[in-house]
A and B are shown apart, each in its own frame.
Chain A
Amino acid sequence: MARFIVRRTLSAVALLFAVSVLVFAIFEIIPAYNPARAIAGRNATATTVAQVSRKFGFDKPVYTQYLNTMKLIFTGQVIDYQDDLNVVDQFRERFGATLSLVVPAAILWLLTAVLLGSISALRVGRLIDRGLMALAILGVSVPVFLLAAVLLYLFAFKLTLFPNTGYVGITVSPIQWAYHLILPWFSIAVLSVGFYSRVLRSNLLDMVNQDFVRTARAKGLPARQVFLRHVLRNSMMPIITMFGLDFATLLGGAALVTEAVYNIPGVGQYEAQAIGNLDVPPILVGAMFTGFFVVLFGAISDVIYGMLDPRIRLS
């Protein structure tokens, strides 16, 4: 286990380094990108731009700029160019909203997908299976921005069942918190429910024909036990991998469309603004932030893998 942690930590460091270099390099290569001009404003004179350039160190060699930026990031002093806000503080403040959005949505989609995938597999070929799988395709196909907007229009604007966007912290009022987040949770979950339930269904159908499932039936186990203990458990592997990755990227800000539509002040919304403004420090921090979660949840799903399947248990 100790070796595993060390190895994963090293790979995390390597990944974060690679991500940061890559993001930095991209902005060096973009031809029209001139951060000094962007900061100085549209009507700034050449002298002002040069001053800004010197002040922010844009005149220094690339590697010096990179090292300076990294130093600022890791000392928590990095400032975005657009609003002069401390980037690390922004992420810290906004992460609560993103957690509130992503964690319940993840639980929702995982449980729903397992339930629907199982129903489909158990009733394969029947009407309910075809119906669910058609819905799943629909769920996968509908873009989040459209779904979120349609839900908002129907349930918040037309039927006024839910509030018209906005976010209330869980510490302020748990009920208002949930009330404001139901539509966003649903918007995020639909895509994954569709995708996961289809994957699970096909895994289950493969698993049903395995010899050890026949053995389980031959032992006289009740059908429910055969399904839960033998079929479902062995079918969960790919779901775990997908879940770790999806959950990580969403925490890193991939829920930006949902956050934007529902006006939830999460990290994704901040990253979306930064991308729009070509504001390098938040983009850089956002990319590293996501990379961190990807490595973390990759490691966690490997541990869960080992718990589910002793053959790949970490020595």
Chain B
Amino acid sequence: MADHLLDVENLQVSFATEDGLVRAVDEVSFTLDRGEVVAIVGESGSGKSVSAMTLMGLTRSPNSRFGGSARLNGRELITASEHDFESIRGKEIAMIFQDPISSLSPVHRIGDQIVEQIRAHEDISKPAAFDRAVELMERVGIPSAADRARAYPHEFSGGMRQRAMIAMALSLSPSVLIADEPTTALDVTIQAQILEEFKQLRASGESGVIFVTHDLGVVADIADRVLVMYAGRVVEQGTLDEIFYDPQHPYTWGLLGSITRMDREPPRRLPAIPGLPPSLINAPAGCHFRPRCPHEFAQCMEVPKLESHIAEAPEHADRCWLEVEEKRTRRLINGRIGLTEGTVIA
């Protein structure tokens, strides 16, 4: 097996709560290399953020339990000590969070917040670190960065704050950058600009990016490979083209079917996946998606393995018992990929 930048194998995360054990992440495996963007897609509560935060060591608590392994440049993260993690976080793996308004300290200057990170990992004077912070802010497209570095987060617009977050995350040239819904809180034009920053980062080949999102439009724009998560498990994973043009799992069909597209006639009915994601404390037996799936049959009571069913695409794996050809027929609704016809919008 080739050495990857990041190699996640059979990752499991659960939390002990008063109501029982929450299996937030179950058997998640993937690899990431430099210059690559892996997108993790799923609804709220699918375990995508927990997976990402676990790689940062941010889900550790007295109530959390971990299984499996995650190796960064061959170094195990899951069992790393908190002390080791302090030197990994921010330096080797950096993270950008969803809400740039609440994710920056309201009482510290933007530049100082970047300086703080640089100085946590490098023996460098404050003025030197500040100069570097300004350079980083310039690099991510913040105008008059020298002045803006002295401003506070509340004096920044949402897009500029997210740029500052990116500058901060990139400050020590981490080999892995995790972006947890970095564009969700931004409006569409800003979103496009921020995505441009990620594309440049990918082109530079310095880092591998894990992009957590629920927005398939963003995924299509930026990802090389995609993991579709549902109720803590990966239900399908493959290259961008495989997932978008030959989706194997009914949940993926549902996600793809619910995108409204500018280049097509607007739908009279908005297709949506019926039902709600299950509780992770008492997840349904067998396939987790079974209760919401119109294609359910007897075998679905057994948990399907995540494996490839297509000979030509050995990396394209899914968790569904249906035969490949049957999937290819069933996923077409009125000639397009989807799960249901959708419900009538009043």
Contacts and interface: CB of A to CB of B under 8 A. Distances in A.
A complexed with B = yes
Interface of A: 210-212, 214-223, 225, 229-230, 233-234, 308-311
B102 A220 contact: no
Most buried by A among B106, B165, B168: B106
23 contacts: A210-B102, A212-B102, A212-B105, A214-B97, A215-B103, A215-B104, A215-B165, A218-B89, A218-B94, A218-B95, A219-B94, A219-B117, A219-B120, A220-B86, A220-B87, A220-B121, A221-B116, A229-B108, A229-B116, A230-B105, A308-B107, A310-B154, A311-B152
B58 A234 contact: no
Contact of A221 (B82, B103, B117): B117
B99 interface: yes
B107 A217 contact: no
Given A212-B104, A216-B105, A311-B106, A222 B120 contact: yes
A187 B106 CA distance: 37
Contact of B97 (A211, A229, A311): A211
Contacts of A220: 85-91, 117, 120-121
Interface in B75-131: 82, 85-91, 94-95, 97, 99, 102-108, 116-117, 120-121
Given A220-B89, A220-B90, A215 B97 contact: yes
Contact of B106 (A218, A229, A234): A234
Interface in B35-80: 56, 58
A20 to B, nearest CB: 39
Given A212-B106, A308-B107, A310-B107, 9 more contacts: A211-B103, A215-B105, A215-B165, A218-B94, A220-B91, A229-B108, A234-B105, A234-B106, A311-B106
Nearest to A233: B107
A210 B88 CA distance: 22
Contacts of A215: 97, 103-105, 165
Nearest to A307: B107
A221 B87 CA distance: 8
B120 A310 contact: no
A128 to B, nearest CB: 15
A309 B94 CA distance: 27
Interface of B: 56, 58, 82, 85-91, 94-95, 97, 99, 102-108, 116-117, 120-121, 152, 154, 165, 168
Going nearest first, the 6 A-B pairs with the smallest beta carbon separation are A220-B90, A220-B89, A211-B102, A219-B117, A219-B90, A212-B105
B299 to A, nearest CB: 42
A311 B104 CA distance: 13
A203 B120 CA distance: 26
A310 B152 contact: yes
A233 B88 CA distance: 25
Contacts of A309: 106-107
A210 B85 CA distance: 20
Contacts of B103: 211-212, 214-215
B121 to A, nearest CB: 6
B248 to A, nearest CB: 34
A229 to B, nearest CB: 7
Given A215-B97, A220-B88, A234 B107 contact: yes
A220 B154 CA distance: 23
A309 B153 CA distance: 11
A306 to B, nearest CB: 11
A211 B86 CA distance: 18
A211 B58 CA distance: 12
Contacts of A225: 116, 120
A211 B104 CA distance: 8
A305 B238 CA distance: 53
Contacts of B104: 212, 215
A214 B56 CA distance: 10
Contacts of B107: 233-234, 308-310
Contacts of A233: 107
Contacts of B106: 212, 234, 309-311
Most buried by B among A210, A212, A217, A220: A220
Contacts of B95: 218
A218 B120 contact: no
Nearest to B114: A219
Nearest to B118: A219
